[in-house]
């Protein structure tokens, strides 16, 4: 059924870059066999799960939606084809854990190239489109993973969130998306963007589904040096807990200029709803919020410039000979043809902020401000249990609306970046609809819940009470 829905909807929506139907059917038969033999079944037995393309899974290409991870087109071959992508020889830890739980992988989901973007328009292959209005973006970078779930092609999927890439597309497509605490989920086998921020997390149609997925993928992994040893919480059970008495802090800085009026209204209505369930809702301040965009785009680009140096035409994917047949020319040409414009922009920015003479002024300073942003949260979590806010300042915008102005695209991340910089768990749960100015279709709005480090349970409790 999932394959049939993908076949029907994917040509219009671009959620999947490639579909491994034979492999998926083989996995399904395997689960079936186990069931008919009366063998124990995992918590995700037979459930189709979409995988962001930047996650390595044996049996499928992984390109992070970049041409640099594809083989060059031969004569008569189409210019861009995911099927010519790099084949990873191993599973990401998250993928291995889903596999062991019985999940089935129908295909690899579209994204912004190397997870850099907020609209999925930076994919080297094709943009993904929002099923609520295909003229609009689904958000990014994990846009394809969100669309797969929003259009009910798969009941769940995995994405990655560095600065909002799970929460924002979840909000813009009306599904649930969770960014776990930094270190809660293994990054092993996730093609890296900014290693101090990257986290893998689930999308699902409902809160309980997301809780089950997180419970399966979370937990210590010796293959990721930043993986935490803390025991995994009972996330699914947390969905049934009572919310009465929980203290919710609402940061005034998150209701600033640029917030679409309908988004503010929907989020405030959700807060009223939670108040009705016995929660205490009070205003708080996160004073350094206004530095989050600048801080993030220094730290993330610095780390990206280092992580992406491995794509040199030698070890993976695309190789283009230099004009003079020399090594440096080969590096240059391969990277010039392999990387898209946003990725190049970030490598340039990141190299600049790390360079001698500018390191102290930009990178070091950004690290200090990052600490201040983290402390803001530590302080408010002395008085409240959860922070609640919008996920994004607007509903889904039109394709092409921001893609020519990188800065306006960066500003769309203003509400998701602080939790990323602080390493905190955060989720997006649908909380109503808003019609953007000049729009004719009402579009989904997400409520963001941010918790203290390793307190994902609290977020699931509140989100499922609201849902």
Catalytic residues: 52, 141, 165
Identity of the residue, 141 or 307, whose beta carbon is nearer to ligand GLN in the bound complex: 141
Q: Which 335-394 residues touch ligand GLN, going by CB under 6 A?
A: none
Shortest distance in whole angstroms from residue 75 CB to ligand GLN: 36
Here the tokens at position 255 are 């209701």
| Residue with Cβ nearer ligand GLN (128 or 246) | 128
Which tokens belong to 175? 């599904």
CB of 190 to ligand GLN, least distance (A): 11
Q: Is 139 in the site for ligand GLN (CB under 6 A)?
A: no
Tell the smallest beta-carbon distance from residue 165 to ligand GLN (Å): 3
The DSSP call for residue 175 is -
Q: Is 298 in the site for ligand GLN (CB under 6 A)?
A: no
Q: Nearer Cβ to ligand GLN, position 162 or 305? A: 162
Binding ligand GLN (rule: CB under 6 A), the pick from 96, 115, 176, 204 is: 115
For ligand GLN (CB under 6 A), the number of binding residues is: 13
When the beta carbons of 52 and 82 are compared against ligand GLN, the nearer one is: 52
Q: Does 141 bind ligand GLN (CB under 6 A)?
A: yes
At CB < 8 A and 24+ separation, what contacts does 255-260 make? 255/389, 255/390, 258/393, 258/394, 258/411, 258/414, 259/390, 259/393, 259/394, 260/393, 260/394, 260/395, 260/434, 260/436, 260/437
161 binds ligand GLN (CB under 6 A): yes
Alpha carbon 25 to chain centroid, angstroms: 27
Q: Does 312 bind ligand GLN (CB under 6 A)?
A: no
Q: Give me the least distance between CB of 421 and ligand GLN, in Å please.
A: 11
Shortest CB 136 distance to ligand GLN, Å: 17
Stretch that binds ligand GLN, among 146-154, 158-166, 263-271, 371-379 (CB under 6 A): 158-166
Minimum CB distance to ligand GLN, residue 380 (Å): 23
Which residue lies nearer to ligand GLN by CB, 159 or 432?
159
DSSP for 210-261 reads: HHHHHHHHBS--TTSTT---SPPP-HHHHTTS--TT-EEEEEGGGS-TT--H
Is residue 146 involved in binding ligand GLN (CB under 6 A)?
Answer: no
Does 163 contact ligand GLN by CB under 6 A? yes
Is 193 a residue that touches ligand GLN (CB under 6 A)?
yes
The region of 61-69, 112-120, 146-154, 305-313 touching ligand GLN under the rule CB under 6 A is: 112-120
Q: What is the DSSP letter of 435?
A: P
For residues 270-301, one letter each, b for 16 or more C-beta atoms within 10 angstroms of the residue's C-beta and e for the rest, the string is: bbeebeeeebebeebebebbebbbebbbbbbb
Which of 44, 228, 300, 463 touches ligand GLN (CB under 6 A)? 300
Q: Are 72 and 79 in contact (CB under 8 A)?
A: no
Q: Is 126 in contact with 108 (CB distance < 8 Å)?
A: no
| Contact with ligand GLN (CB under 6 A) among 94, 123, 130, 162 | 162
* Residue of minimal Cβ distance to ligand GLN: 165
Candidates 27-35, 58-66, 88-96, 116-124; binding stretch for ligand GLN (CB under 6 A): 116-124
Strands 176-179 vs 247-251: parallel, antiparallel or unpaired: unpaired
Task: Write the secondary structure of 79-113 as one string of H (helix), E (strand) and C (coil).
Answer: CCCHHHECCCCCCCHHHHHHHHCCCECCEEECCCH
Out of 164, 313, 338, 444, name the contact with ligand GLN by CB under 6 A: 164
20 binds ligand GLN (CB under 6 A): no
Least distance between ligand GLN and beta carbon 388 (Å): 20
Least Å distance, CB 49 to ligand GLN, is: 19
Sign for the pseudo-dihedral over CA of 166, 168, 173, 178: positive
Cis peptide before 152 (omega within 30 of 0): no
Provide the minimum distance between the beta carbon of 387 and ligand GLN in the complex, in angstroms, as a whole number. Answer: 19
C-alpha–C-alpha distance, residues 390 and 84, integer Å: 39
Piece in contact with ligand GLN (CB under 6 A), picked from 31-39, 109-117, 146-154, 349-357:
109-117
Taking CB under 6 A as the rule, does residue 413 contact ligand GLN?
Answer: yes
Q: Of 7-15, 24-32, 160-168, 325-333, which part binds ligand GLN (CB under 6 A)?
A: 160-168
Angle, nearest 10°, between helix axes 21-36 and 2-13? Answer: 160
Does residue 190 sit in helix, strand or coil? strand
Other Cβ atoms within 10 Å of 11 Cβ, number: 9
Q: Which is nearer to ligand GLN, 139 or 209 (CB)?
A: 139
445/415 Cα distance (integer angstroms): 13
Residue 339 tokens, joined: 């990387």
Helix or strand or coil: residue 162?
Answer: coil
Q: Which helix (H) or strand (E) holds 392?
A: none
Binding site for ligand GLN (CB under 6 A): 115-118, 141, 161-165, 193, 300, 413
């Amino acid at each position: 059924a999932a394959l049939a829905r993908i076949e029907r909807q994917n040509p219009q929506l671009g959620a999947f870059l490639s579909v491994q139907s034979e492999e998926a059917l083989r996995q399904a038969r395997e689960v079936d066999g186990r069931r008919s033999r009366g063998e124990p079944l995992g918590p995700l037995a037979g459930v189709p799960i979409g995988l962001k393309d930047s996650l390595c899974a044996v049996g499928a290409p992984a390109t992070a939606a970049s041409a640099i991870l594809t083989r060059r087109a031969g004569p008569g071959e189409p210019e861009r084809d995911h099927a010519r992508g790099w084949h990873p020889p191993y599973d990401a830890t998250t993928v291995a854990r889903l596999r062991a739980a019985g999940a089935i992988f129908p295909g690899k989901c579209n994204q912004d190239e190397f997870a850099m973007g907020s609209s999925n328009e930076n994919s080297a292959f094709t943009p993904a489109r929002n099923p609520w209005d295909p003229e609009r973006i689904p958000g990014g970078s994990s846009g394809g993973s969100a669309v797969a779930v929003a259009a009910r092609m798969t009941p769940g999927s995995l994405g990655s969130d560095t600065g909002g890439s799970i929460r924002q597309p979840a909000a813009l497509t009306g599904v649930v998306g969770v960014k776990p605490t930094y270190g809660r989920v293994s990054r092993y086998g996730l093609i890296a963007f900014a290693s101090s921020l990257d986290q893998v997390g689930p999308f699902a149609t409902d809160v309980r589904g997301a809780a089950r997925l997180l419970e399966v993928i979370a937990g210590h992994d010796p293959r990721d040096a930043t993986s935490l040893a803390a025991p995994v919480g009972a996330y699914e059970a947390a969905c049934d807990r009572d919310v009465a008495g929980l203290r919710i802090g609402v940061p005034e800085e998150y209701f600033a200029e640029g917030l679409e009026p309908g988004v503010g209204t929907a989020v405030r209505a959700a807060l009223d709803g939670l108040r009705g369930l016995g929660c205490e809702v009070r205003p708080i301040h996160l004073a350094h919020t206004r530095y989050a965009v600048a801080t993030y785009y220094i730290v993330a680009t610095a780390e990206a410039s280092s992580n992406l140096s491995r794509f040199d035409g030698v070890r993976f994917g695309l190789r283009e000979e230099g004009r003079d047949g020399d090594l440096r020319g080969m590096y240059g040409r391969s990277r010039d043809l392999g990387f898209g414009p946003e990725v190049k922009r970030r490598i340039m920015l990141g190299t600049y902020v790390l360079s001698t003479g500018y390191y102290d002024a930009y990178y070091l300073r950004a690290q200090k401000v990052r600490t201040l942003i983290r402390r803001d949260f530590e302080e408010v979590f002395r008085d409240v249990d959860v922070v609640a806010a919008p996920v994004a300042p607007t509903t889904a915008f039109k394709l092409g609306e921001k893609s020519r102005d990188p800065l306006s695209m960066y500003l769309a991340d203003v509400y998701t970046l602080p939790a990323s910089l602080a390493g905190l768990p955060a989720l997006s749960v649908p909380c109503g609809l808003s019609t953007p100015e000049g729009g004719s279709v009402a579009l989904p709005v997400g409520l963001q819940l941010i918790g203290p480090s390793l307190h994902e349970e609290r977020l699931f409790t509140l989100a499922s009470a609201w849902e």
